[in-house]
Structure 1
Amino acid sequence: MGGGRKRGRSQRRHFKQGRENVWKDNPQRPPAGGGGGDQGAAGSGEGREGNDSWQPFSTENPAFEAYYKEQQIVPEEEWNDFMSMLRKPLPAAFRINASCQFYQDICSQLENDFRKSLETEVSDEHEKDAIRPLPWYPGNLAWHLNFSRMQLRRNQALESFHEFLKQENEVGNITRQEAVSMVPPLFLNVQPDHHILDMCAAPGSKTFQLLEMIHQSTKPGVLPNAMVVANDVDVQRCNLLIHQTKRMCTANLIVTNHEAQNFPGCSLTKFCPETYLDESKPQRLEFDRVLCDVPCSGDGTVRKAPDMWRKWNAGMGNGLHRLQVEIAMRGIALLKVGGRMVYSTCSMNPVENEAVVAEILRRCGDSVELLDVSNELPELVRRPGLSTWKVRDRGSWLGTHEDVLHYRKNAISPSMFPSGKGSTDNRKVGGSGELNMDVADADMDSGDMVERKEESRIAINGSNNGETNIEEINQVESESGEVPRDSEKKSDSTSICTEHSNLPLHRCMRIVPHDQNSGAFFIAVLQKLSVLNENQVVEVMKGEHSILKDRAVKPVDSPGSDKVPSEEIPVHQQGVEGSHVSGKQQNGDMDAISKDKASEEGSVIVNETQNDEAATRDKRKTQNQGRWRGVDPVIFFRDEATITSIVSFYGIKDSFTLEGHLVTRNPDTNHVKRIYYVSKSVQDVLELNVKVGERLKITSLGLKIFERQSSKDGSPCTFRLSSEGLPLLLPYITKQILYASALDFQHLLQYRIIKFPDFVDAKFGEEASALLPGCCVVVLREGHQHIDSIATDPSAIAIVCWKGKTNLCVMVSPLDGKELLERVSLRFGLKVPKADDRKTKLKVDGSDEQLDCGAETVDPECKPESKASDMDISDVKEVE
């Protein structure tokens, strides 16, 4: 989402007018999904040759080849192999969630069924296996396919496997993600008690990977002490993040919406008198691990996103360099001493990679070390980082900052070069004796700052509002190389004196495509050895003081919108948003879901105070306005009467602590719709955030555990159990619980509503009819020795149901129900129902009576066709 100009009224009016559909009934219209090979369906950028056939994206860009050949990112003898691999479609990859309930079943299915059946489809002479585990990923949890995403969609022989991938991905058992995108979290060395910050998290595949790690480190059914804070600057991209992480069903996650370079610091010593400090509670929000996967030009993803060939130019990396440094420095400031930060990009450009790492080391001095992790993940093929490179600006190659034209010195900073030093450097020096760039920035006069910001904006945006003006760039690149007269220097690279960095940048890791048939990636692992000194703190404190810029302002598009006027958005962000999306979405993280679906199903920020009547909604919105405009506050739920009613109705054991762990987004107790459960680590952060004035803009958190449900027949408890929270709560429930045979359990999932006399096990039907009206839990008793121990078994399979007057109704989303039905059928040797059989409802003999779901307002999870049941982003409201 770019931050450029708005369309005027006349343009909007003109845009709404009807236009002739030139494709309608056109005999030369290309066939659906047709032609053009693997990238032909993308449909933008390239026209039709002779009006006869649809052409694929071009995989040629002379400027791209010239740039990286000059940078010598691979030896000359490997250049042809490197370029040849970049032009091939990217093989698909996915990762298994080892903490999911059916982990063993999925592994068995892959090894025994799909691996054998797909062998006949192997067509690449370089690949021996159609599907194989990635040798460098621990536990054989990540798998590589010898098929691109397009082949999976189009090949009829792969249809069943493609359906398997889509279904398991939607329910969270696997995550479809580019292989090299899985690498950065592995080098964080996450431990069970770590607090982790994912600074630029959307769309969320790496965040999901981090959650897998912390939950895998503990016993099933036990909450880990670790916690993940996932942040993203873009409100709409937070939808993707929430959608992705919701599949994990975790109480150990907080999703925030801040500029990463201005992520707020929550310190009690700055906001509270010492007399109020409690030494037993956290005093400052710091993290043991930080994942800094920054916005980048994304040219390492050209195999997956071939449109990048057309869009790429050298100015993209130059324009993002400062922002990347700022984000990385903020990450270091938030890191605990002894903690580890991973800096990564999906770019091959040294200006975005080694130059940023070098600048971090210069600013931090002895406080930060670039780690040598060559002994970690030994089977991962990686190459050392570069120690020398050049900068290209407006058609000229630059070896040192002295070569930069005077009027460009504010756009091309010294930190982009290997030495990091300028020719006329009057900047202040930090405690380590190295240059402190941010102090220099502060000393610049306002005119220089404006000029620098404008140059940065142009470098990123070109003249096309978030997209580079390719024609202009190509024109510049194709010129003779002469630069303006005041320089009288040639752009011939052979005459350039290049610098060499004396920093240990060889410890960085470069992953190149032709080494292991993957995308390209850059990773650097940094460790904080000591607290930053006073001079180093000057720059990182900008994140503390400039937090006011991150505060929500008056909406410009619609009431409650979190958008801010373009003039309020920092210059860096205006230029980067387009690049952020292009880089990160192409980063292998968008396989799991489509952007359109996420936007349709879960438009933006958490807001559960939705009413049918607009007047009531507006009134309550005013009442519930927290510090952040458009975002409901996080409220600890302490309604003793409601909690007592829930505990009594479900017989929840005292060993499951509810006090202090329940939160909601509505301060009005009578209108609370959903209650969320948070872990102890999240609870501590929430309490700290309240004490420092709610500096964190929290869009989503916790695990939905209870949801209000009214019934026309009445129920002793007004809150039902949530499917997401059931696995956590199941071992502690002693009432409203039933144990079904495999056949009756299968029928419940298949037909969704069954009358009590229609169960195969008559005793089960009698027990169901004897329950109190309202929510109940049905547990599959098959495969367990004793019924008394089933509920405490972490592997127990259970579903939430509603007990009405005459029937039992399943309250599980159709998608989850379908997946669970197939798993149960396969595990216990039952016949897997066909799709037509699933839609069939049990009929009531001799009567037109409708099956009673027991709910006055039918729950979304009860509706077979409900999209809300598939998505349900913990209460969302729409934004333009």
Structure 2
Amino acid sequence: MDIRTKLENDFMKTLQAEGVDGSEVEGIKPLPWYPENLAWQSNFSRNQLRKNQILERFHEFLKLQNEIGNITRQEAVSMVPPLFLDVRPEHFALDMCAAPGSKTFQLLEMIHHLADPGTLPSGMVLANDVDVQRCNLLIHQTKRMSTANLIVTNHEAQNFPSCHLNRNFANGSETQKRELDINQLQFDRVLCDVPCSGDGTLRKAPDIWRKWNTGNGNGLHGLQIQIAMRGLSLLKVGGRMVYSTCSMNPIENEAAVAEVLRRCGGSVELVDVSSELPQLVRRPGLKKWKVRDKGMWYASYKAVPDNRRGGVVPGMFPSGKTYADASEQNDDATRAQLSDNGNNDTSENDMPVLEDSAAAATILDDEEVSTLPLERCMRIVPHDQNSGAFFIAVFHKLSPLPASAFQQKKPVSLREKLNSSNIQAESLTTKVKEDENVEDVKPVDSVGNEDVTMDDADIQAESLTTEVKEDVNVADVKPVGSVGSEETTTVDAGNGTDETILDAEPSETLEKKEKDETQPSTDTRAEPETNRGKRKLQMQGKWRGVDPVIFYKEEAVVGKIKDFYGIKDSFPFEGHLITRNSDMNHVKRVYYVSKSVKEVLHLNFLAGQQLKIASVGLKMFERQTSKDGASAPCIFRISSEALPLMLPYLTKQILYASPADFKHLLQYKSIKLGDFVDAGFGEKASQLLMGCCVVVLNKDNKTLSEAQADPSTIAIGCWRGRSNISVMVTALDCQELLERMSMGVEEETDSSLPETKTLTAEADEIVEAEEGEVKEDTKQP
């Protein structure tokens, strides 16, 4: 019985008839707009779940399933944006601002939808977040998915690298460059859930009432546009991007969407998704709004005083017009009055959030109405469908973005305009003097030519003229003189500067580097061609505090693992194994990556390690460090996460257990070979080699090969010791499996086992090591 069936047949009927705290409420129900009844909503408060006796069993069920990873608890409305992405298993998807990871989890579910046992989808998900601590939370959330199709990175979203590869000057051998299918990072789907003021979460975060002010949304407007533009530049032509916020502020929503459309011209369109998710109640986007700043309401940009034009920009208004000559149209008295009002020292924080709109000063002028199809945006409000508030816009990329999309002119103030002619003349003269070839100087007008187009990968979002802060940590780059230190990175200051502007003609920067020295690589062991430089390359990787990603190519060790478990030759091993430890003699964990992730890792290496990878791959094998583990023929055991993928390919070290014996293993954690209910099972177990083994539950009298190919098969990793079999899964996993078995397997008596059962010293050591693994840091070792 699966979780959905249990919710429908057990909890839904039981809780519906119960009265909680003296009132009858609809306890749980499926969300009508979520496909296949895979999302459910609970109307119980946190206090009710914790303190009410009636809800105790339901609460324990939620906690256990959430910890195991079978369910994810999140705000219902935040599940909406990934649904509009229309992700399919073959897609490359990017989650630009992914933490804490609930939406990333949804994307992974879509990628793995309908995948056969032992197979991986051809697509992948790349989840990114700017904050290291939030990346750790993201890794913890997605770890429960046990996927080989995920990469977690740590970058500023607006400066996310595209890993553009110039094959003439890239690292690696010519064979590697020819075999690589991709030459830059581009995605079929991009989720752009940008940072916002969060005023749509007032119901669950009432403290926002006290902290909120208009400066929050105005201050984030520019960053939101930068992130959205970067997302569109990384999106493939024909791809779809979803822009979303948990805010109702039009400055963060419709204004940002309108500005993106204006910059992209006809290369991007807003998609009308009104026919998708028909049971989701939504409202159309706004076509007109005013901008509030320092206690004033402005209906158009020409009403904004000069001293406030740094914080209020044209893109915040429906039309987006700059009104560069507005200062000439307004008389001096009006301009002076506006300046006085703008200099008001009263802070928004000192003003009540709810105020009489009639009392607020308003500069009306001509109220603007956007001509863009912003009604295609979606506004979800709490009182329509008992949810939080959310804003969603869906973009479709029709063609490469124009170069002018990233060359926006700064709004001209009155003071700047008065001095512009002198400054422009002086700067132009200086420019001509500095350039050796006067004919190479382009006229100013040619910069904004909308007919000029560039490849998206050669466009740096918004801040192309500034150094990318996240791409190379300047503080982490050591000068050339410090290369000899054991704790230094291998990238010198010159390299760091060259790689900051990732997409601006990489051929020039890489050509210069190749003349000077060899670039450091992510996998110096796997790619020996890169070790020919004069300096000894360190093995810490490019990014300080982040372990390198190294392809694991120890053929002797891999061969021993394949022989010990009898892994079929049809399982793709070559090029799919990685480790995060540069010392091949002390590798503790070996990870497995899908073909799509492997391609991205190779691209990242050849392009100069532009991606700061926090986590990648599915943990497949782990070195057993116990005393008995060291003496086993194979010291690497199969991890629990990798069992679903590996099970169809195993031919050795595998046992088929009856429900009674399987249940006893979960209950007692360790059983002597002669104490199993089925004597034949104990005899087969004694014939296994000492070391890791897999025990499969025989619940429907299928053959072992049939059970291995069944996605619903339950299997656990165990350790075959000298005289016993010990379970190698956590206590939580054991508890969850026992509950699943109790739904479909009749209760068995324990009379066949001795009354007293204690863990042997060997089993105790193994189980403690396994449970201690869960408490480790979420970072990959």
Q: TM-score with structure 1 length normalisation?
A: 0.70
- Counterpart of 1:186 (choices 42, 59, 83) is 83
Evaluate the alpha carbon distance shift between residue 328 and residue 788 of structure 1 in structure 2; reply closer, same or farther with a 3 A threshold. closer
Q: Which amino acid aligns with 2:565?
A: Y
CA distance in structure 2 between the aligned counterparts of 1:627 and 1:746, rounded to whole angstroms = 48
Is 1:810 the counterpart of 2:727? The answer is yes
What is the deviation of 1:478?
Answer: 9.7
Is 1:679 the counterpart of 2:600? The answer is no
Q: Which amino acid aligns with 1:531?
A: P
Q: Which amino acid aligns with 1:743?
A: A
Q: Which amino acid aligns with 1:851?
A: T
Evaluate the alpha carbon distance shift between residue 244 and residue 480 of structure 1 in structure 2; reply closer, same or farther with a 3 A threshold. closer
CA distance in structure 2 between the aligned counterparts of 1:263 and 1:807, rounded to whole angstroms = 52
Is 1:416 the counterpart of 2:325? The answer is no
In the other structure, the counterpart of 1:525 is 394
**5+ residue gaps in structure 2?**
327-344, 409-458, 478-485, 490-521, 523-536
Is 1:728 the counterpart of 2:633? The answer is no
3-state SS in 1 of match to 2:257? helix
In the other structure, the counterpart of 1:853 is 762
CA distance in structure 2 between the aligned counterparts of 1:181 and 1:533, rounded to whole angstroms = 32
CA distance in structure 1 between the aligned counterparts of 2:749 and 2:325, rounded to whole angstroms = 73
Does the aligned pair in 2 maintain the 1:561–1:630 contact within 8 Å? no
Does the aligned pair in 2 maintain the 1:626–1:633 contact within 8 Å? yes
In the other structure, the counterpart of 2:697 is 780
Q: Deviations over 1:820-858 (max 9, x none)?
A: 11112222122699xxx9xx99536xxxxx614369x74
What is the deviation of 1:727?
Answer: 0.8
What is the deviation of 1:710?
Answer: 3.3
CA distance in structure 1 between the aligned counterparts of 2:570 and 2:13, rounded to whole angstroms = 47
CA distance in structure 1 between the aligned counterparts of 2:468 and 2:561, rounded to whole angstroms = 40
CA distance in structure 2 between the aligned counterparts of 1:633 and 1:815, rounded to whole angstroms = 32
What is the deviation of 1:196?
Answer: 0.2
CA distance in structure 1 between the aligned counterparts of 2:114 and 2:728, rounded to whole angstroms = 30
CA distance in structure 2 between the aligned counterparts of 1:859 and 1:143, rounded to whole angstroms = 35
Is 1:821 the counterpart of 2:738? The answer is yes
Evaluate the alpha carbon distance shift between residue 555 and residue 305 of structure 1 in structure 2; reply closer, same or farther with a 3 A threshold. farther
Evaluate the alpha carbon distance shift between residue 722 and residue 532 of structure 1 in structure 2; reply closer, same or farther with a 3 A threshold. same
CA distance in structure 2 between the aligned counterparts of 1:548 and 1:471, rounded to whole angstroms = 31
Q: Deviations over 1:333-377 (max 9, x none)?
A: 000000000000000100000000000000000000001010111
3-state SS in 2 of match to 1:304? coil
Matches within 5 A, 1:170-319: 170-269=67-166, 272=169, 276=174, 277-278=177-178, 281-319=181-219
Q: Which amino acid aligns with 2:263?
A: R
- Counterpart of 1:504 (choices 373, 380, 400) is 373
In the other structure, the counterpart of 1:390 is 290
Evaluate the alpha carbon distance shift between residue 776 and residue 123 of structure 1 in structure 2; reply closer, same or farther with a 3 A threshold. closer
Is 1:638 the counterpart of 2:514? The answer is no
Matches within 5 A, 1:272-671: 272=169, 276=174, 277-278=177-178, 281-424=181-324, 473-475=349-351, 491-493=360-362, 495=364, 497-538=366-407, 540-542=459-461, 546-547=467-468, 549-554=470-475, 623-671=538-586
CA distance in structure 1 between the aligned counterparts of 2:57 and 2:710, rounded to whole angstroms = 32
- Counterpart of 1:843 (choices 743, 751, 757) is 757
Matches within 5 A, 1:676-715: 676-713=591-628, 714-715=631-632
What is the root-mean-square deviation in Å for CA atoms of aligned residues?
3.1
Is 1:762 the counterpart of 2:694? The answer is no
Q: Which amino acid aligns with 2:322?
A: G
Does the aligned pair in 2 maintain the 1:712–1:854 contact within 8 Å? no
Q: Which moved more, 1:821-830 or 1:802-811?
A: 821-830
- Counterpart of 1:869 (choices 758, 774, 779) is 774
CA distance in structure 2 between the aligned counterparts of 1:244 and 1:841, rounded to whole angstroms = 40
Does the aligned pair in 1 maintain the 2:212–2:353 contact within 8 Å? no
Does the aligned pair in 1 maintain the 2:298–2:363 contact within 8 Å? no
Q: Which moved more, 1:815-824 or 1:628-637?
A: 815-824
Q: Which amino acid aligns with 1:699?
A: A
CA distance in structure 1 between the aligned counterparts of 2:305 and 2:360, rounded to whole angstroms = 12
3-state SS in 2 of match to 1:144? strand
Evaluate the alpha carbon distance shift between residue 560 and residue 167 of structure 1 in structure 2; reply closer, same or farther with a 3 A threshold. farther
Does the aligned pair in 2 maintain the 1:807–1:852 contact within 8 Å? no
CA distance in structure 2 between the aligned counterparts of 1:269 and 1:732, rounded to whole angstroms = 39
CA distance in structure 1 between the aligned counterparts of 2:289 and 2:271, rounded to whole angstroms = 21
Q: Deviations over 1:547-603 (max 9, x none)?
A: 3553234479xx9999xxxxxxxxxxxxxxxxxxxxxxxxxxxxxxxxxxxxxxxxx
CA distance in structure 1 between the aligned counterparts of 2:373 and 2:90, rounded to whole angstroms = 31
CA distance in structure 2 between the aligned counterparts of 1:411 and 1:694, rounded to whole angstroms = 37
Does the aligned pair in 1 maintain the 2:214–2:348 contact within 8 Å? no
3-state SS in 2 of match to 1:282? coil
Q: Deviations over 1:445-492 (max 9, x none)?
A: xxxxxxxxxxxxxxxxx9xxxxxxx9862248799999xxxxxxx953
What is the deviation of 1:146?
Answer: 2.2
Evaluate the alpha carbon distance shift between residue 829 and residue 306 of structure 1 in structure 2; reply closer, same or farther with a 3 A threshold. farther
3-state SS in 1 of match to 2:660? helix
Does the aligned pair in 2 maintain the 1:746–1:821 contact within 8 Å? yes
Q: Deviations over 1:619-656 (max 9, x none)?
A: xxx95311111001100000001000100100000000
Evaluate the alpha carbon distance shift between residue 252 and residue 170 of structure 1 in structure 2; reply closer, same or farther with a 3 A threshold. same
Structure having the higher Rg: 2
Evaluate the alpha carbon distance shift between residue 832 and residue 317 of structure 1 in structure 2; reply closer, same or farther with a 3 A threshold. farther
Does the aligned pair in 2 maintain the 1:806–1:852 contact within 8 Å? no
Q: Which amino acid aligns with 1:731?
A: P
Q: Deviations over 1:80-135 (max 9, x none)?
A: xxxxxxxxxxxxxxxxxxxxxxxx52122111110111013457999973211111
Does the aligned pair in 2 maintain the 1:122–1:146 contact within 8 Å? no
CA distance in structure 1 between the aligned counterparts of 2:22 and 2:53, rounded to whole angstroms = 21
3-state SS in 2 of match to 1:745? helix
Evaluate the alpha carbon distance shift between residue 742 and residue 425 of structure 1 in structure 2; reply closer, same or farther with a 3 A threshold. farther
CA distance in structure 2 between the aligned counterparts of 1:706 and 1:216, rounded to whole angstroms = 25
In the other structure, the counterpart of 2:34 is 137
Q: Deviations over 1:15-50 (max 9, x none)?
A: xxxxxxxxxxxxxxxxxxxxxxxxxxxxxxxxxxxx
Q: How many residues align?
A: 650
CA distance in structure 2 between the aligned counterparts of 1:495 and 1:862, rounded to whole angstroms = 67
Evaluate the alpha carbon distance shift between residue 424 and residue 476 of structure 1 in structure 2; reply closer, same or farther with a 3 A threshold. farther
Does the aligned pair in 2 maintain the 1:780–1:796 contact within 8 Å? yes
CA distance in structure 2 between the aligned counterparts of 1:357 and 1:841, rounded to whole angstroms = 69
Q: TM-score with structure 2 length normalisation?
A: 0.78
CA distance in structure 2 between the aligned counterparts of 1:113 and 1:218, rounded to whole angstroms = 29
**5+ residue gaps in structure 1?**
1-103, 427-461, 463-469, 483-489, 563-606, 608-621, 845-849
Does the aligned pair in 1 maintain the 2:318–2:368 contact within 8 Å? yes
Evaluate the alpha carbon distance shift between residue 513 and residue 478 of structure 1 in structure 2; reply closer, same or farther with a 3 A threshold. closer
Q: Post-superposition, which runs of at least 4 consecutive aligned residues in structure 1 deviate over 6 A?
A: 123-128, 476-482, 559-562
What is the deviation of 1:238?
Answer: 0.6
Q: Deviations over 1:403-436 (max 9, x none)?
A: 222111011111111111122179xxxxxxxxxx
What is the deviation of 1:243?
Answer: 0.5
